[in-house]
Structure formats: structure tokens, C-alpha cells
Structure 1
Amino acid sequence: MSGIKQLAGQTLWYGGSSIAARFLNYLLTPYLTATLSGVAYGEMSLVYALIPFLNIIFTYGLETAFFRFASDKERGSSVYDTATISLIVSTAVLTTLLVLFNDFFAGLIGLQEHPEYFTWAAFIIAFDALSSLAFAKLRFDGRPIKFAMVRIVGILVNIGAVVFFLSVCPKIAEKDPEGFIGTFYDPNIGVGYVILANLIQAVLTFLLLAKEFFSFRLRFNATLWKEIIIYSAPLILAGFAGMINETFDRMMLRWWSPAATEEAAKFEVGVYSACYKLSILITLFIQAFRMGAEPFFFKQAQGQAPQKVYARVMKFFVITISLMFLVVALFLDVWKYFIQNPEQWEGLRVVPILLLANMFLGIYYNLSIWYKVTNKTSAGARITFIGAGITLLINFLFIPTYSYVACAWATFFCYGSMMVVSYIWGQRAYPVPYATKKLVAFMVIALALYGIHAAFQLLELNVWINHAFGLLLLGLYTLFIVNVERKEFARLPVVGRFISA
């Protein structure tokens, strides 16, 4: 169980700080949905749908490759030097190209009237890319306090800048149009101020990581660099295809939406993006898990019987996300107030679908360890391309009829197929003794309880009765899990004190 304790500790520090940072960032959603129009929120979503694609290109798998090669004691010291020099050169070249062709990219996402949005986004991507290896170094060196501090401070600055630009500046400019703020504040920039606030965050984060970033030496190992690129190249393809699965549906929704006008299409993008964020709990937990799990898995691979550890990790992971699914799905009428624009509540019907899809994605991340520790990263690229193909096909066929509902189902089938293919392929190449039948049963029972609650709501009883019934179902599921896995829970460091084996 020491492996589980180690992973829990890493997830608590690195993942916990990421949860805190992202949760603070998600708190902007109620504010932005209340402050921005539905169309403006859709425009912002389009910009942030393209950024992850470019992040994949800018970082080209160097973070995962760093964990992989830094574990080699003979060459570990030169891995950071080589990777950082490579990252600096590539970032400079790519940023220059994006700025020169900002008109093209702005037009690609339907914001041809605001090419400056894309220029600012390009610099956000650049500073984020340069910070990525410094963050990875903090994780690998076991320095969680600074890691957490930088992440959270950056998000707090971002939130403060957004509120300042969107709420404080307009009032100051109105009262004193000739003053400093009144002179420089331009209401026509609109949602662009959200992007500028993100740019301020990215620059500050880089400055806070300057000591780690500039700790590299001007020593470039060409042979090592080739090995890193060979290892990471499939991860670039996998990441790129993964972004098609994760964010590209926003752009496809704008292109193929059945809405009558461009403005209406952007509004639908805003509805879907806002409702997508209601899968916040599962998304945040997956993010936290990934932050702690990636270096943990590689270190475990060098120990004895790592497969047993991976199987136990999977069990606790599925139990956690199943509970999170019920917490959100059973109380969706409460979570909807996270979206402050009631016009966007029309998309709530897709939230349970997206919750299940993200459960599949989290399980896939667990399963993906087989091709990472065996250096078969090309398998990850193939699996992700299968998912990308499913995403593109379903969206192309059904968005013109079903709008963002098609996007939700495309996400569901995409991640579901990736999970199944990775499991089957992985069990052949790197067998792990997962408790497959039991884990499937846990998820099916959680889904059945949601169905029972949905049917109960058709009785149209008092909202408090519905909530009480939801709590009852959640409590019954928790007791069921604890009873089935009593021995496992009894071995946990804190929870085990209250559970008898």
C-alpha cells in the first residue's frame, strides 16, 4: 500500500494545487457568464479552443519525455539542459510565425475582426510553453510548495485582472474619461480583456519560475535530443488528436451549427462551453491525478510488481470518479447556478453525457501507462487518432441536425472507444490485473442510480424531496462501495481508522 500512499501524497500536493488553481479559474465562469453576452462568451470559447492545439505543438511532448529520460541517472543531468534549449529555439520560431499570420488564424476561428486577440493568445502560448519544463522540474525534484504557490498566485492574478478590466475600468473610464484609465481603456476590445488578463498571468508565472527555468546550462546533447524527439513525436500526434477530441468540437459547432446566423452559432458555442464546465469535479480530479501519477508511474515501473500497484490505483480512481459523477448528476439543478446566464441552461441536458465521457477519459489516462513505460508511444497516437476520427465523423454527420447535443455524444463515443481499445491492446502488450468486472459494475450501478433519480424527478415533487432522494441514493452507493471494498479501505492511512476489516 506504500505505493498508493506515495501517489496520494503527490496527488495531494501537485494535483491538489492544480485543483485549487483550476477551481479558482473556474470561479470566473459564473462571473463571465453574467458579465459577457452569450455571443461574447462564445467568441472567448473559440479562442480558448484553439490555444490547446497550439500548446501541443509548442511543447511537443517534452514534459512527458523529461520525466522519462530524467529518471536515467547517467544522463539525467543533461536532459533538462537539452530540452530547455530546444524549447527556447522552437518557441521563438513558432511565436514569430503565429504573429506574422495572425489574420489567418483569427479568421479560422471566426474572429477576423479581432486579429489582435490571436496575437495576444500567441504570447500566452509562448510563455506557457517556456514555463512547462520549469514546472516539470519542480515536480521531478519534489518541490511541491513552490509549485503550488506559483500556480495559485498566477490564477489569483488572472482573476483580479479580469475583474479589473471588465468591471472596474469601465466605471473609472465613465467617471473620468480624461484620466489614465479613461485614456487607455477601450470598450471595443470587450472579451479581449479576458485574453489580456491571461497574458499577464502567463508572464508573471514565467517570472516566478525564472530561477528554475534559467538553471539550464548551455550544453546541448544532439544524440539525447534525437532520442527525446523520437520518444515524444508520437505524443505530439496523440496530443494533437486529443485536442480534436477535447476542444475542436467548439469550432466544428460554429462551422456546422444549424443556427440561422453567425451570432446564433457563437451563442450555441457559448452554451455548450458553459455546460461543459459543469463536469468540473471529474475534470479537476483527473487533472490532479495526472499531475501526481505521471512521475509516480515511471518511478514505479522500475520497482517490483508495478502492475499490482497500477491495478490498485485504477480501483480507487474508478470509485472516486463514480462518486463524483453522482455528486454532479444527482444535483444538477443546484450546479446549474454555476452558470449565471439562464439562457445557457438550455444545454444542461448534455452534462450527464459529458460527465460519463470524462470518466472514460480518466480511465484511459490510467490505462495509457502501458505504452509509456514500454516506450510504445506510437500506440498512444494511434488510439487517439481513432478517437479523433470518431469525433470528426459524428460531429460532421449530426451537428447540422442536433447542434451541441451531437458534440456531447461525439465526446462520449470518442473517449469510450479510446478506453476500450487501450484496455484490449494494453492487456496484450503489458498485462495489468485490473478488477475489470468489478469496476464496470461500479460504473453501471452509478449510472443506474442516476436513472432512478431522473425517473423520480418526473413525479414533479418538491425540490427538497428530490434533493433528499438524491442524498439517499448517494449515501447508499457510498455504503455499497465501502462494504464491497472494506479490506482495501481499512488499509488506507486515515480512512482505515473508521473502517474495520
Structure 2
Amino acid sequence: MSSIKKLAGQTIWYGAPRIFARFLNFGVSLLGFQLFDPNGSYPYTQVYAVIPFLNILFTYGLETSYFRFAQTHDRKKLYNTLTVSMLVSSLLLTGVLFLLKDPLTSFMGMDDHPQYITWMIWIIFFDTLYTLPLSKLRLEERPRKYAFVNVFSILLNIALVLFFFYVARPAYEKDPDSFFAWFYDPAVGIGYFLLANLIASGVTLLLLYREFASFRFDFDKKLWKEVMYYSYPLIIVGFGGQINELLSRVVYQRVLDVGEKQEQFELGVFGANYKLAVLITIFIQVFRLAAEPFFFNQSKSEGAQRSYARVMKFFVIACCFMFLVVVLFLDLWKGLIASKYPEYAQGIYIVPILAMGSIFLGIYYNLSIWYKLTNRNMFGAYITISGAIITIVLNIILIPKFHYMGAAWATFICYAFMMVASYIQGQKYYPVPYAKKKLITYIVICALIYIIHEVIVRNINSAARFYIPIYYISAAVLFGLFLLLILKVERKELQRLPFLGKWLYRAA
């Protein structure tokens, strides 16, 4: 259990600032839905569906490779080699994107705002350059600076967004010739979110200047080839979490014949509701930050597989609680995106589907350690490619008839397939004694709890005076029942955890 405590500590140190940053970033995105209707927010959701996809292409698995090879190679030489590789490739890929800027602008439907694409490219460039310096902080166990950089970056991003929309815009509306009005142009619109992100990304790189500039042009060609052989399948693997959000939008624009304005409106609604499922994705991303180095460090210790199984169990339990928080209190979350523009609420029913799909994706990420530890990364690539094919086919079939509901089910089915495929292959090459039946039971119970909640509250007129009390009482009671179930079934395991275990022991 000491390994679990170590992971918990790493998750707190490296995860807490990232959780804080992610939630603040989540809040910023919700602000966009308060300021702009679905058609106005369309460019924002499009660009931020593409950025993670291109980030993976620009980093091509080097972050994971850095942790993997740092266990067996000279860390300084490894850092120098990978930094040189990433710097050169980033310059080349950025140049290619600028050469293809016009067709890319048209492909993304941004002909009215080509500057959005320019800012997007520079965001990706800066984000790529500080990837390895941040990883270096994690590997060297320097959590304070890691936390400072992450939190400062997002706070700067938020401050700039608030300045543009709550200082500069009112100044412009009051007097276009005033000093602060100079910082606002109505034609830019939601693009100020991108501009704020760009400035914050550039400042983040400056904050990591010492780490970035510490590399030397000491390029080990043999080591680089070894790393690339390991990492190139991770490019495809990395797309696993992005293929649905990106491909669903691409297919949406190609198979739905409803007119450009209606298409953009629906994609704006889809993007806003997709954001609510991000609450689970945030936890998954933060967990991965701590888990990946932990998995590699634990790989040679005795009982590594048992540790991985325990980690998976606690991970799934945490995801189940996150799922229930999202779906049982859906009316609360709906208010965050639809209080000003009620049109966003039209797609709220896809959130539970996307949320459960996010759990499947998180489990897939946990399972994926088997091919990273056994150097069988191509299996991960095959699974991701298969998932992409499933996504495209299902979106082509389902979107014309069911619109964004079809896109949501395509996401759900794709991630379910990737999870199952990774589990089956993993048990062949790197068996881990996962508590499969128990974890499936927990997930099914969560789904049933949501259904029971819906049956209770949807048979009541939402305009009735007692609707809101019944809604939240039902949600709280059902959430409490699941909590009691976990406390009872996992009592022995939980008692061995710090803080929570002591509380349970005293309560016994």
C-alpha cells in the first residue's frame, strides 16, 4: 500500500495545481458560453478541438519517452537529445502549418477569422516548447515551481480574458477613443480567448526559460533512433483521447445537410455540452500526470502488477463519484452554460453519455501501461486506429439521423471498444489482477443510479414548486447511498489510506 500512498502524494503535489488550473480554465470556457450564443462560440469549440490534436503531433510521444528512458539512460544526454529534436521539429511543423494556413482556415470554417488560425498555430508552438521543461521539473521532483508555473499561467489567461471583455469592451462601448478601448475590436469576438491563451503560453515559456535554456546541442543520434522507435506509435496512441472530439466535428460538417448557420449552431451546442463531460476528463488528465512516472518507476519492483490493480480500483471508484456529481446534478451544470443563452440546454441529454465515455477513456489510459512497459506500443496504435475507424463509420451513420446525439453515442462506443481491446491484449502480454467484476459492478450501479434519478424527477413538472427540492434531495440521497456502498465494500482497503483510513478506523 506504500506505493499507493506515494502515488497519492504525487497526485496531490503535481495534480492539485493542475486541477486548480484546469477548473479555472473550465470556468473560462463557460464564460465564453455566457458571452456568445452557439453560433458565436462555434469558432472557439472548433479551434480547441484541433489544438490538443496538433499538440500530440508536435510532441510525438516524447514526454512519455522521456520518463521511460530516464530510468535507463543518462538524463542530461536524454534531455539534450529530445529537446533538440522537439525544437527542430516544432520549427518545421509550424512552418508547414503557416504554408497550409489558407486551406486549413477554409477546412475549419474560419474564413471570417483567419487570425484565429494564426494565433492557434503560435499557441501550439509555445505549448510544445515548454512540454519537456515541465516534464523535467516532474522528473526532478520540483513540485513548487511546477505548481507555480501552471497556476500563474492560467491566472494570467483568466486575467487577460476578464480584461478584454469586462474592461476593454465596456470602455469601447462607452468611448471608442478612450485608452482601454484601444485594446478591444468587436470584429475579434471570441478570438480574445485565443489571444489571451497565446500570451499566457508565451509567458509560460519565459517562466521555464532556465529549464529550456539548460539544454545543449548535444544530439545523440543512436539514442534518438531508439527513442523514436519507442515513441512514434505513441503519436497515434495519443490521438486516442482526441479522435472523437475532432472527427465528430469534421464528419458533422460533411454529412449534415442543414445549412451553414444551423450546422454551426449545432456544433456550438455540442461543444458546450461536451465541456461538461470535461469535469471527468480533468480528473483523468491530472491522474495521468502523476501515474505515468509512477508506473515506470514501479515497473521493476516486486508486486508491481498488484499495485497497478489497486491503482485501477481507486481510479474507477473516483471516476464513478465524478460521474455521479455530473449526472445527478445536471440541472446545476446546465445553468452554467445556458443561463444567458437557453439554446445550449438543447443538448444537455448527451452529457451522461459523454461522461460515461470519458470513464471508459480513463480506464483505457490506465490499461495502456502494459504496452508501454513491454515496448509493444504498436498495439496501442492499432487500437487507436480501430477506434478512429469506428468513430468515422458511426458518425457517418448516426449524425444525419440523430445529430449530436449520434456523435455522443459514437464517442461512447469508440471508447468502450478501446477499453475492452486494451484489456484483452494486455492480459495476454502483461497480466494484471484487476478486480474486473467488482469494477464493472460499480460502473453499472452508477448508470442505474442515474436512471433511477431520471425516473424520479422527470415525472414531475419542472415548473412545479416542489421540483427543485425533490431534484436535489433525490440526487443527494442516491449519491449518499453509493458512498455508503463504497465505504462498506472497500472498508479494509480504505482504512489503509492516509487521512481517510484514520477517520474510518475511528468510526469503526
- The TM-score bracket by the shorter chain reads over 0.9
Q: Deviation at 1:241? A: 4.9
Q: Deviation at 1:278? A: 1.2
SS in 1 for 2:187: helix
Q: 1:453 to 1:86 in 2, by over 3 A?
A: same
SS in 2 for 1:499: helix
Q: Is the 8 A contact 1:242 1:388 kept in 2?
A: no
Q: Please provide the CA RMSD for this pair.
A: 1.4
Q: Which residue of 2 aligns with 1:479?
A: 484
Q: Is the 8 A contact 2:53 2:239 kept in 1?
A: yes
Q: 1:257 to 1:160 in 2, by over 3 A?
A: farther
Q: What is the TM-score with the length of structure 1 in the denominator? A: 0.97
Q: Deviation at 1:15? A: 1.7
> Please, which of 458, 481, 491 is the counterpart of residue 496 of structure 2?
491
Letter in 2 for 1:250: R
Distance 1:183 1:359 in 2: 45
SS in 1 for 2:214: coil
Distance 2:35 2:457 in 1: 32
Q: Is the 8 A contact 1:250 1:273 kept in 2?
A: no
Farther-moved stretch of structure 1 (225-234 vs 278-287) = 278-287
Q: Deviation at 1:168? A: 1.9
1:217-251 CA-to-partner distances (Å, cap 9, x unmatched) read: 22110000001111110001222354222433223
Which structure 1 segments of 5+ residues have no match?
A: none
Q: 1:482 to 1:269 in 2, by over 3 A?
A: same
Q: Deviation at 1:151? A: 0.9
1:387 and 2:387 correspond: yes
Distance 1:140 1:464 in 2: 49
Q: Is the 8 A contact 2:164 2:183 kept in 1?
A: no
> Please, which of 315, 326, 329 is the counterpart of residue 328 of structure 1?
326
Q: Is the 8 A contact 1:29 1:338 kept in 2?
A: no
Task: Show structure 1 runs of 4+ deviating over 6 A.
Answer: none
Distance 1:181 1:271 in 2: 32
Letter in 1 for 2:138: R
Q: Deviation at 1:183? A: 4.5
SS in 2 for 1:189: coil
Distance 2:459 2:58 in 1: 53
1:24-58 CA-to-partner distances (Å, cap 9, x unmatched) read: 01111332111112212011111111112211111
Q: Is the 8 A contact 1:17 1:152 kept in 2?
A: yes
Q: 1:488 to 1:329 in 2, by over 3 A?
A: same
Farther-moved stretch of structure 1 (321-330 vs 452-461) = 452-461
Q: Which residue of 1 aligns with 2:259?
A: 261
Q: Is the 8 A contact 1:45 1:250 kept in 2?
A: no
Distance 2:166 2:194 in 1: 15
Q: Which residue of 2 aligns with 1:203?
A: 202
Q: Deviation at 1:180? A: 4.3
Farther-moved stretch of structure 1 (406-415 vs 114-123) = 114-123
Q: Which residue of 2 aligns with 1:291?
A: 289
Distance 1:242 1:23 in 2: 19
User: What are the within-5 Å matches in structure 2 for residues 342-491 of structure 1?
Assistant: 342-460=342-460, 462-491=467-496
Q: Which residue of 2 aligns with 1:64?
A: 64
Q: Which residue of 1 aligns with 2:215?
A: 216
> Please, which of 251, 270, 273 is the counterpart of residue 268 of structure 2?
270
Distance 1:69 1:241 in 2: 23
Q: Is the 8 A contact 2:364 2:418 kept in 1?
A: yes
Q: Which residue of 2 aligns with 1:13?
A: 13
Letter in 2 for 1:345: A
Distance 2:181 2:486 in 1: 59
1:182-239 CA-to-partner distances (Å, cap 9, x unmatched) read: 4563211212221111100110110011111111122110000001111110001222
Letter in 1 for 2:431: P
Q: 1:174 to 1:245 in 2, by over 3 A?
A: closer
Distance 1:232 1:415 in 2: 22
User: What are the within-5 Å matches in structure 2 for residues 136-175 of structure 1?
Assistant: 136-175=135-174
Q: Which residue of 2 aligns with 1:236?
A: 235
1:119-155 CA-to-partner distances (Å, cap 9, x unmatched) read: 1110100000001111111111111111111111111
